[in-house]
């Protein structure tokens, strides 16, 4: 009986070997070597742009809850990263999380070289400091991924360009675009292992939701030297502004990825003021990006020093506000008080 079973299993293994594609086997091997199956992503908060909104203290920052859900839906937890904090706070958080996410939003990029090492001046200074830490970590062999969406995408390229703003005006606001994959996109990390159905949807159907008045053209991408540090993976076309703009990039030397569109909106935003495709194929494509990115974070082994410290920082300490009820295009937002960072550290 045992011998029969052994033979049967062997046959089965041989059969599976011949039937499955080699990529399936590669996937299985990679799954076995996941370093960290409890990844935590730090999402950078940003200043509330309309200070009279919701009677908040003027120094409050926020994170749209859709970014939190986006990360959670792919198997990770979230720690909010507050702005206007000191360097020690950012270093501690950085050394405790497995990846960063720069969300969309509205922030004016003011770059002052004298403040590049000063994290106390909002989203841009905080972000520049974190990007510096991310590069230093990766340079030392500590695999640390970074993701940017919309404003986050623009910010990461702004940071790369030493504060040169290479953006141009476009009208891709509330606009659905498809991706035009560039020559080597299918060899990239971001798209190389995507299912055919995902590539097909992104390339042939206008499912990516865009909300930007500024964009980066392929001409400026090259002119500003960004092609030296990032691969241009796809462009999209804004028919209103008649502008072709860069829609997806990945860093040449670092696990940094960024998209101009909003995958999280397809899945988690429901305002009727925005045109958001919620079809099964749009959701599949949007979810692909979250799954891809969280998988990068699983390769990082940073952790909080203690469970208590981890618990004190997780997003679960906050209750999102149902801002959609008040007409906000975000269905829910997390708001953060100014002095929260002190919490949880003795
Ligand atoms: C800011 O928020 C207040 C209160 O919700 C609103 O009355 C006002 O129109 C908003 N201003 C802008 C520029 O959106
Ligand atoms: C963890 O504890 C060590 C030693 O006390 C300290 O140097 C380090 O900064 C802490 N790390 C974090 C992420 O808090
Ligand atoms: C900041 O400094 C870098 C390196 O010295 C320089 O290339 C860049 O032009 C400066 N940016 C601004 C906005 O002054
Ligand atoms: C910022 O810090 C780096 C070291 O991390 C240093 O090389 C650089 O000169 C500093 N820049 C400024 C403007 O102080
Ligand atoms: C950083 O900026 C803040 C706010 O402008 C300022 O109070 C502080 O002195 C600056 N710190 C350093 C080290 O330059
Ligand atoms: C290039 O960037 C500049 C701003 O730095 C902008 O004025 C110009 O329109 C852009 N050109 C193109 C072709 O994108
Ligand atoms: C769109 O822009 C291109 C150049 O970028 C120009 O050749 C073309 O005429 C423009 N089309 C329209 C309809 O304005």
Contact criterion met (CB below 8 Å) for 79 and 92: no
The neighbouring-strand residues paired with 58 are none
| pLDDT score at 49 | 65
Structure pTM?
0.82
Query: What are the CA-CA distances from residue 313 to residues 40, 90, 93, 144, 266 (Å)?
Result: 10, 12, 9, 19, 28
Supply the pLDDT for residue 10. Answer: 41
- Whether 262 is a known active-site residue: answer yes
Could you give the C-alpha distances from 300 to 102, 225, 251, in angstroms and in order? 18, 29, 17
Q: What is the pLDDT of residue 56?
A: 55
Task: Please indicate whether residue 249, judged by its CB atom, sits closer than 6 Å to ligand 6.
Answer: no
Question: Buried b / exposed e across 41-76, counting CB within 10 Å, b at 16+?
Answer: bbbbbbbbeeeeeeebeeebbbbbbbbbbbbbbbeb
Question: Tokens 């203290």 — which residue?
Answer: 57
- Tell how far the Cα of 213 is from the centroid of ligand 6, in angstroms: 13
Looking at the domain that runs over 39-342, which CATH code has it been given?
A: 3.40.50.880
54 CA closest ligand 1 atom index: 5
Q: Which of 170, 215, 262, 302 is catalytic?
A: 262
Q: Which residue's CA is the closest to the ligand 5 atom numbered 1?
A: 118
Please indicate whether residue 55, judged by its CB atom, sits closer than 6 Å to ligand 1: no
> How many Å apart are CA 156 and CA 256, to the nearest integer?
9
CA distances from 201 to 197, 207, 239, 260, 285 (A): 6, 8, 19, 17, 7
Nearest CA to ligand 2 atom 13: 92
Nearest residue by C-alpha to atom 3 in ligand 2: 305
Question: pLDDT 10s digit of each residue in the chain, 346 long?
Answer: 344 444 444 444 444 444 444 444 445 445 446 799 999 999 999 987 665 555 555 557 899 999 999 999 999 999 999 988 888 999 999 999 999 999 998 877 766 555 555 555 688 889 999 999 999 999 999 999 999 999 999 999 999 987 788 888 888 888 999 999 999 999 999 999 999 999 999 999 999 999 888 899 999 999 999 999 999 999 999 988 899 999 999 999 999 999 999 999 999 999 999 999 999 999 999 999 999 999 999 999 999 999 999 999 999 999 999 999 988 899 999 988 755 444 433 2
């Amino acid at each position: 009986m045992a011998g029969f079973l052994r033979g049967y299993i062997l046959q089965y293994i041989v059969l599976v070997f011949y039937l499955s594609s080699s990529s399936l086997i590669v996937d299985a091997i990679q799954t076995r070597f996941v370093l960290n199956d409890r990844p935590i992503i730090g999402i950078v908060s940003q200043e509330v742009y309309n200070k009279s909104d919701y009677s908040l203290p003027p120094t409050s920052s926020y994170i749209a809850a859709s970014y939190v859900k986006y990360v959670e839906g792919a198997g990770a937890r979230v720690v909010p990263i507050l702005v206007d904090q000191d360097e020690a706070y950012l270093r501690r958080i950085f050394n405790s999380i497995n990846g960063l996410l720069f969300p969309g939003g509205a922030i004016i990029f003011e770059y002052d070289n004298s403040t590049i090492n000063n994290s106390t001046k909002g989203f841009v200074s905080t972000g520049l400091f974190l990007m510096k830490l991310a590069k230093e970590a990766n340079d030392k062999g500590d695999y640390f991924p970074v993701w940017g969406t919309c404003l986050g995408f623009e910010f990461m390229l702004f940071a790369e360009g030493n504060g040169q703003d290479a953006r141009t005006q476009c009208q891709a606001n509330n606009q659905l675009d498809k991706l035009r994959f560039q020559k080597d996109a299918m060899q990239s990390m971001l798209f190389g292992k995507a299912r055919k159905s995902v590539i097909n949807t992104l390339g042939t159907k206008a499912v990516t939701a865009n909300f930007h008045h500024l964009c980066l053209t392929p001409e400026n991408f090259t002119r500003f030297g960004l092609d030296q540090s990032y691969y241009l993976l796809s462009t999209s076309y804004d028919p209103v502004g008649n502008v072709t703009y860069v829609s997806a990039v990945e860093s040449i030397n670092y696990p940094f990825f960024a998209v101009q569109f909003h995958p999280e909106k397809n899945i988690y935003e429901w305002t009727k003021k925005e045109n958001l495709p919620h079809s099964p194929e749009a959701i599949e494509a949007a979810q692909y990006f979250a799954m891809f990115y969280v998988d990068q974070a699983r390769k990082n082994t940073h952790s909080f020093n203690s469970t208590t410290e981890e618990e004190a920082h997780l997003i679960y300490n906050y209750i999102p506000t149902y801002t959609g009820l008040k007409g906000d295009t975000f269905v829910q937002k997390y708001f953060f008080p100014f002095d929260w960072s002190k919490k949880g550290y003795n």
